[in-house]
Amino acid sequence: MKPIIAGTTLALSIILAGAANSKSLVYCSEASPEGFDPARYTSGSTFDASSKTVYNRLVEYKRGSTEIVPALAERWEISDDGKTYTFHLRSGVHFQSNEDFKPTRDLTADDVVFSFERQSGKADFAAYANGASWSYYNDVGLAQSVESIAKVDDLTVRFTLRKPNAPFLGLLALDFASILSKEYADKLVTDNRIDDLNQKPIGTGPFQFVAYQQDAAIRYQAFGDYWGGKQPIDDLVFAITTDASTRIQRLKAGECQIAVYPVPSDIPALKEDSSLKVLQRPGLNVGYLAFNTTQKPFDDARVRRAITQAINKQAILDAVYQGAGVEAKSVLPPDMMGYNSALKTVQYDPNAARSTISQLGLTGQQVKLWAMPVSRPYNPNGRRTAELLQADLQNIGLSAQIVSFEWGEYLKRSSDPKHDGSVLAGWTADNGDPDSFLTPLLSCASVGGNNKAGWCNKDFDALLDKARSETNEAARAKLYQQAQQKAADETPWIPLANGVITVATSANVIGYQIEPSDAHRFDGVDIAE
């Protein structure tokens, strides 16, 4: 993925040149993708550029909701004991092509089995991995849950679980479960070009990858043989624009038709602009500060609780969210099943925090504070949030150094259990199930992945394990409430805010919807001419 030219505007004009006589939609995105193989990553900006455009999954979410609907699997059965899922694939589903690959067959069960088994860590699939860690697959516990994945016939696949797993079907709708072409992967291994699986994606989705100008623009074309029908948009372009104000400037100038995550203070004026539409919905998300609980001084729960006492969340809400967020009390957002509204939490008390830090002999201690480099509804301005946290820590006698990195590097380094300091991060529900927060973010299995706190608590894990196997929703909810209290007592991270999702579009954009997961989908989107 080497740059073709320098300069975002020039790169975008060249990529758009090939689409001059077609209907084009330009999306001002907030970050570059880490790659185009969604199973390797966990970032929403990567999923938008890969799984939401190029690929499909066995089941997916209905646009604008968390309702599971058929996709590559047109129907499925679940055994009475909840341990066997049998999927019947659509016939005649075509794969895309590129200059190096022309598929010789349609989608079969071989592609489904391959797409999951390559993430299992089995030696037979090492040639396809090339250093991938398959974080999502492991973080949501599939490695422990799935006993086998078997091809029954060309259009039938059977998953056998070790025990019932209530959120399992929803997990298969997540981005890491995208279905790749085994034929394409095999050819790349033979040609010693397996990296192209992550750089030149081939899928069955609504849009076909055309070109990527690193950190500038990505171009897609509507896939004419898409099983769901050709899209209204002929050409889709991601104009990568990391600065929030610049995204809105480009939207107003007509350089893009959709722009995400405006600065909260700009939203009232955007709503007054008749040439634009402003879409908003509460997000199933949480922004948080994760302590690396494996490193001093954050390995001491007393230190973590003292810092939690020191943080003025209301000041952060006023300065950073400006009405586009509410105080987070728990790991889970308040509208999610199992949310513990009676949670006992550490209360704001900077004097008590200062006293604890002094008693522990940590006055003057230097710590690192990681600032997110991108805007998200759960944290519109990572740098400003970090500065406010830095002042709060200074107030209790701790000296915080703010550090940051390019987004892909930030994600990679902060997932390393050996990283130094506390990390600003966040999460948005993928499937509306509480397990999609608690397991990938705080379970023992997710240490080294999305568990940026490196926190491993066997009692917490036992509650999650029991909840996954529980089919009664009220009983599940009670278990998740207990798990939240366990996390609140141990304080591996500080929940800061639940943010409102805001997207601005040109007035002539038709059919765009904000997803509960904060994903950005362009299937079904059109532009009035």
Q: Residues 189, 303: one domain?
A: no
Is 332 within the bounds of a domain? yes
Q: Are residues 228 and 306 in the same domain?
A: no
- Co-location of 77 and 147 in the same domain: yes
Q: 151 has which bridge partners?
A: 157
CA distance 171 to 60: 10
Q: What is the pLDDT of residue 471?
A: 84
**Which two three-digit tokens encode residue 278?**
């402003």
Q: Do residues 172 and 53 share a domain?
A: yes
Q: Does residue 463 lie within any of the structural domains?
A: yes
* Shared-domain flag, residues 209 and 316: no
Is 418 domain-assigned?
Answer: yes
Q: Same domain, yes or no, for 335 and 469?
A: yes
DSSP letter for 272, please: H
**Is 239 inside any structural domain?**
no
What string of pLDDT tens digits covers the 529 residues of the chain?
Answer: 333 333 445 455 545 555 556 899 999 999 999 999 999 998 999 999 999 999 999 999 999 888 999 999 999 999 999 999 999 999 999 999 999 999 999 999 999 999 999 998 888 899 998 888 898 898 888 988 999 999 999 999 999 999 999 999 999 999 999 999 999 999 999 999 999 999 999 999 999 999 999 999 999 999 999 999 999 999 999 999 999 999 999 999 999 999 999 999 999 999 999 999 999 998 889 999 999 999 999 999 999 999 999 999 999 999 999 999 999 999 999 989 999 999 999 999 999 999 999 999 999 999 999 999 999 999 999 999 999 999 999 999 999 999 999 999 999 999 999 999 999 999 998 777 899 899 999 999 999 989 999 999 999 999 999 999 998 999 999 999 999 999 999 999 999 999 999 999 999 999 999 998 899 999 999 999 8
SS3 464: helix
In angstroms, the CA 80 to CA 399 distance is 57
SS (H, E, C) 478-493: HHHHHHHHHHHHHCCE
Q: How deeply is 265 buried, as exposed, middle or buried, from its count of CB atoms within 10 A (0-12, 13-18, 19+)? A: exposed
303 and 219 together in one domain = no
Question: What are φ and ψ of residue 113, in 5° steps?
Answer: -60, -45
CA distance 468 to 445: 15
> Does one domain contain both 371 and 479?
yes
Instruction: Report strand pairing: 493-506 vs 509-510.
Output: unpaired
- Domains in the chain, number: 2
- Distance, in Å, from the CA atom of 359 to the CA atom of 352, rounded to the nearest integer, reads 11
DSSP designation for 178: P
User: Which amino acid, residue 187?
Assistant: K
For residues 426 and 319, state if they share a domain: yes
4 within domain boundaries: no
- Residues constituting the chain: 529
State which residues form the domain around 120. Answer: 32-233
Residue 359 lies in a domain: yes
296 and 154, same domain (yes or no): no
41 belongs to a structural domain: yes
- Same domain? For 322 and 224 the reply is no
Residue 275 lies inside a defined structural domain of this protein: no
- Could you tell me the CATH number of the domain that includes residue 376? 3.10.105.10
Closest CA to 326 of 265, 283, 289: 283
Residue 419 to residue 452: CA distance in whole angstroms: 9
CA distance 437 to 167: 12
The residue with tokens 């929030």 is: 244
217 and 87, same structural domain? yes
Residue 176 and residue 38 in contact, taking contact as beta carbons nearer than 8 Å? yes
Pairwise CA distance, residues 121 & 129, whole Å: 8
Measuring CA to CA, which residue among 239, 245, 255 is closest to residue 7? Answer: 239
Tell how far CA 75 is from the center of its chain. 27
Question: Following DSSP, what letter does each residue of 58-69 receive, concatenated?
Answer: SEEEPTTS--EE
CATH number, domain containing residue 221? 3.90.76.10
Give CA–CA dist 308/302, Å, rounded: 10
Element (H, E) at 502: strand 493-506
Q: How far apart are CA 512 and CA 522, in angstroms?
A: 7
Domain final position from 233, 266, 293: 233
For residue 136, give every residue at least 6 positions away whose Cβ sits within 8 Å of its Cβ, in sequence order, or none: 39, 41, 42, 174, 175, 176, 440, 449, 450
